[in-house]
Amino acid sequence: MVDKRESDICIIGAGIGGLTAGALLTKQGYKITIFEKESLIGGRALSFDAASLTLENYKDLLSRFRMHVPFSEPDLEIIFKENMLAGYKLDLGYHAIGGGVLSNLNSVLSELDDHVEILESHVGFIKDDGFDFPFLSRIDKLKILPNIFRLLFSSEKTMKQLDSVSMTETIKKYGTGKMKLILEIFSRSITTVNNLDRISTGEMFRAQRNLYRGSKPVGYPKNGLGSIHQKLADFITQNGGEIHLEKPVKKILFDGRKATGVVVGDKEYSFKTIVSNILVQDLFTIADEKYFPKEYVKNIKSLKGTGSLCAYFSLKKIDSNLLGKTFHFIERNIGVDGNDAVGMIDFMATIPESGLAPPSDYLVQSYIICTPDEAKDKETLNTLRELLNKNLEKLVPDFRSYLRWAIYPAVWHLDGVAKTIDNAKSDIKTPVENLYIIGDCVKAPGIGINCALNSAKILCDALPSL
Distance between CA atoms of 48 and 13, rounded to whole angstroms? Answer: 18
Q: Could you say whether residue 370 binds ligand FAD (CB under 6 A)?
A: no
Q: Could you say whether residue 124 binds ligand FAD (CB under 6 A)?
A: no
Which of 411, 417, 418, 435 is the binder for ligand FAD (CB under 6 A)?
411
Query: 190-218 as b/e, with b when 16 or more CB fall inside 10 Å?
Result: bbbbbbbebbbbbbbbbbbbbbeeebbbb
Written as one letter, the residue type at 394 is K
At 310 the three-state DSSP class reads strand
Stretch that binds ligand FAD, among 68-76, 127-135, 323-331, 449-457 (CB under 6 A): 449-457
- Please report how close the Cβ of residue 92 comes to ligand FAD at its closest, in angstroms: 5
**CB neighbour class for 143 (10 Å; exposed up to 12, middle 13-18, buried from 19):** middle
Is residue 99 within 8 Å of 218, Cβ to Cβ?
A: yes
Residues 50-69 that bind ligand FAD (CB under 6 A): 65
CB within 8 Å of 436: residues ≥ 6 apart: 273, 274, 275, 276, 428, 429, 430, 459, 462
Kindly state the DSSP code that residue 184 receives in the 8-state scheme: H
Q: Could you say whether residue 14 binds ligand FAD (CB under 6 A)?
A: yes
| DSSP H or E stretch at residue 2 | strand 2-12
Beta bridge partners of 109: none
HSE (CB half, 13 Å, CA atoms) of 435?
28
- Please report how close the Cβ of residue 343 comes to ligand FAD at its closest, in angstroms: 12
Q: Could you say whether residue 287 binds ligand FAD (CB under 6 A)?
A: no
Q: Could you say whether residue 36 binds ligand FAD (CB under 6 A)?
A: yes
Stretch that binds ligand FAD, among 7-15, 142-150, 151-159, 176-184 (CB under 6 A): 7-15
Stretch that binds ligand FAD, among 32-40, 101-109, 155-163, 377-385 (CB under 6 A): 32-40
Which of 10, 45, 345, 444 is the binder for ligand FAD (CB under 6 A)?
45
Distance between CA atoms of 170 and 185, rounded to whole angstroms? Answer: 14
Q: Using the minimum distance from each CB to ligand FAD, give the nearer residue, 374 or 415.
A: 415
The separation between the first and the last C-alpha atoms of the chain, rounded to the nearest angstrom, is: 29
Q: Could you say whether residue 439 binds ligand FAD (CB under 6 A)?
A: yes
Number of Cβ within 10 Å of residue 141's Cβ equals 11
- Please report how close the Cβ of residue 398 comes to ligand FAD at its closest, in angstroms: 28
Stretch that binds ligand FAD, among 8-16, 69-77, 147-155, 321-329 (CB under 6 A): 8-16
- Please report how close the Cβ of residue 388 comes to ligand FAD at its closest, in angstroms: 14
Is residue 326 within 8 Å of 344, Cβ to Cβ?
A: yes
- Please report how close the Cβ of residue 278 comes to ligand FAD at its closest, in angstroms: 4
Which of 357, 452, 458, 460 is the binder for ligand FAD (CB under 6 A)?
452
Apex 208 CA angle, 202 and 214, nearest 5: 135
Per-position x/- string for 80-119, each x denoting binding to ligand FAD as judged by CB under 6 A, each - no binding: ------------xxxxxxx---------------------
Stretch that binds ligand FAD, among 152-160, 180-188, 267-275, 411-419 (CB under 6 A): 411-419
Apex 340 CA angle, 337 and 341, nearest 5: 85
Distance between CA atoms of 207 and 16, rounded to whole angstroms? Answer: 21
Per-position x/- string for 236-255, each x denoting binding to ligand FAD as judged by CB under 6 A, each - no binding: ------------xx------
Beta bridge partners of 220: 119
Q: Using the minimum distance from each CB to ligand FAD, give the nearer residue, 15 or 261.
A: 15
- Please report how close the Cβ of residue 174 comes to ligand FAD at its closest, in angstroms: 27
Stretch that binds ligand FAD, among 41-49, 106-114, 231-239, 335-343 (CB under 6 A): 41-49
Chain residues binding ligand FAD by CB under 6 A are 12-18, 35-38, 43-45, 65, 92-98, 248-249, 277-279, 286, 310, 411, 414-416, 439-440, 447-450, 452
